[in-house]
Amino acid sequence: MGAVLSFRDLTLGYERHPAVHHLAGDVTEGALLAVCGPNGAGKSTLLKGIAGVLSPLAGRIDCTIASRDIAYLPQAAEIDRSFPIDVYDLVSMGLWHRSGLFGGIARADRARIEQAIATVGLEGFENRPIGTLSGGQMQRTLFARLLLQEARLILLDEPFTALDAGTVADLVALVERWNGEGRTVLAVLHDLELVRSHFPQTLLLARQPVAWGETREVLTTPNLSAARRMCEAWDETAPFCAPEQAA
Ligand SMILES: Nc1ncnc2c1ncn2[C@@H]1O[C@H](COP(=O)(O)OP(=O)(O)OP(=O)(O)O)[C@@H](O)[C@H]1O
């Protein structure tokens, strides 16, 4: 399998302050990769860089997948739930890449939307405004939208945070299904047991990469301690590419 993503001495950050520093490596097609690390390690920043929301300060990301084939699910806190839209319409947005913003929804599309809503266990919620959903119901709705997107590269930022065990199990099963279909999935996760059980590969980040490879070889006590130390020692005001921060 070839690389779908290549990081070339990548630095991402905000207002010239790096948040992810000197990242290099490849993500192969069909990978199921967890991105782990302490708070502030740069995990969300990396996903934003891959999704094209944030441009590199230095280095680059080579991606062989067209942006229309990339799906990005931000952290729940970043999603505006006050937007007046119901479950059905939010899920149907997963077809936008096919139908266009103002394209009509054909009968076959309606069947697919209903099927996606049923797959995530939300039958009967079609007309509910998203602002009235519980956190778990909202996340199921967003996964139904992802189902319709049929993206080749799926980026998930803390997709299982604050969800009950049943919801997590259902959504993990969807992630595994996507991966079984050959899609590449990157997920930012804090639950290391979940990562060990379901994600074969892990990138451990602490502004810089600490380790990247087989999950059992990455999530070791020494690596996790090093990541904690590196994040604690990080200077938030470090200038762009300060030599002492270089890998
Ligand atoms: N919009 C922004 N403007 C300025 N700094 C930012 C912005 N977003 C994130 N940062 C900073 O970038 C650094 C990395 O943040 P990021 O959100 O990528 O970390 P994270 O690993 O996803 O953390 P968490 O586990 O807490 O979600 C932090 O120091 C954060 O304060």
CA-closest candidate to residue 119, choices 105, 140, 139, 133: 140
Regarding whether 143 and 88 lie in a shared domain, the answer is yes
Q: How far is the CA of 94 from the centre of ligand 1 (A)?
A: 27
Whether 230 contacts 3, CB under 8 Å: no
Regarding whether 87 and 59 lie in a shared domain, the answer is no
User: Which tens digit of pLDDT belongs to each residue from 159-195?
Assistant: 998 889 999 999 999 999 999 999 999 999 999 999 9
Q: Which of 12, 14, 236 for mutating ligand 1's site (highest number of atoms within 8 Å of CB)?
A: 14
Regarding whether 53 and 93 lie in a shared domain, the answer is no
Regarding whether 245 and 163 lie in a shared domain, the answer is yes
User: Which tens digit of pLDDT belongs to each residue from 102-151?
Assistant: 566 777 889 999 999 999 999 999 999 999 999 999 999 999 999 999 99
Regarding whether 161 and 58 lie in a shared domain, the answer is yes
Spatial separation of the C-alpha atoms in residues 20 and 203, rounded to whole Å:
13
Find where tokens 């929301």 sit: 53
Number of domain units in the chain: 2
Q: What range defines the domain where residue 101 resides? A: 78-151
CATH number of the domain bearing residue 158? 3.40.50.300
Regarding whether 240 and 162 lie in a shared domain, the answer is yes
- Whole-model pTM: value is 0.92
- Residue with the smallest CA separation from ligand 1 atom 25 is 39
CA-closest candidate to residue 170, choices 151, 150, 210, 143: 143
Regarding whether 97 and 146 lie in a shared domain, the answer is yes
Structure ipTM:
0.97
Find where tokens 């697919």 sit: 112
Instruction: State whether the Cα torsion 131-42-46-117 is positive or negative.
Output: negative
Structure tokens given for 218: 């990455």
Regarding whether 121 and 4 lie in a shared domain, the answer is no
